[in-house]
């Protein structure tokens, strides 16, 4: 049951398997049933651990790839990409964004525009 506070209706009682209820409620269990439960818990723990390791590896590979891409990209191109992302956020989530967040994004866009308007020989963009 997803929600423990859900009140049962009379028709809901027929959807329950009595054997499973008795098993969960603490009916005497045989050795094989106890062993099966232990093995199932152990297998679940192992799969959860392997999934966590795989997720960590995937994240580390993604960050390495992003770092390589960032090293190769021109800073002006990066700023242009950020500007386009800010524009899509503003156009897509008009009613969802709070006013404060919209002000922050507009300020961010203004800062990017001011940096991009400077010449390409600017010290800010050529330091990298």
Percent over 90 (pLDDT), the chain: 6
Give the mean pLDDT of 46-59.
Answer: 81
pLDDT, tens digit, 9 for 90 and up, residues 19-37: 777 777 877 778 888 888 8
Asked if residue 112 lies in contact with residue 75, where contact means CB atoms within 8 angstroms, the answer is: no
Asked if residue 89 lies in contact with residue 105, where contact means CB atoms within 8 angstroms, the answer is: yes
- In this prediction, residue 9 has a pLDDT band, given cuts at 50, 70 and 90, of confident
Instruction: Specify whether 67 is located in the same domain as 78.
Output: no
φ/ψ of residue 93, rounded to 5: -110, 55
**Given a cut of 80, is residue 15 above it in pLDDT?**
no
Give the mean pLDDT of 92-112.
Answer: 85
In a domain, 122, yes or no: yes
In a domain, 43, yes or no: yes
Domain hosting residue 104, numbered range? 74-128
Instruction: Specify whether 58 is located in the same domain as 90.
Output: no
**Category of 26 on φ-ψ map: left (φ > 0), alpha (ψ -120 to 50) or beta:** left
Instruction: Specify whether 115 is located in the same domain as 79.
Output: yes
Selection from 101, 63, 113, 109 nearest residue 85 by Cα: 109
Instruction: Specify whether 67 is located in the same domain as 87.
Output: no
Instruction: Specify whether 55 is located in the same domain as 102.
Output: no
Q: Mean of the per-residue pLDDT values for the chain?
A: 78
Selection from 123, 106, 115 nearest residue 80 by Cα: 115
SS3 (DSSP) at 29: coil
């Amino acid at each position: 049951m997803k929600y423990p506070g859900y009140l049962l209706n009379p028709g809901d009682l027929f959807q329950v398997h009595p054997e499973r209820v008795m098993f969960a409620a603490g009916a005497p269990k045989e050795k094989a049933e106890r062993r099966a439960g232990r093995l199932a818990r152990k297998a679940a723990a192992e799969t959860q651990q392997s999934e966590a390791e795989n997720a960590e590896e995937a994240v580390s590979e993604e960050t390495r790839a992003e770092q390589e891409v960032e090293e190769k990209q021109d800073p002006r191109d990066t700023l242009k990409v950020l500007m386009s992302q800010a524009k899509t956020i503003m156009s897509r989530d008009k009613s969802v964004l709070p006013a404060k967040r919209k002000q922050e994004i507009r300020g961010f866009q203004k800062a990017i525009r001011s940096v991009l308007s400077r010449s390409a020989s600017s010290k800010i963009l050529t330091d990298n």
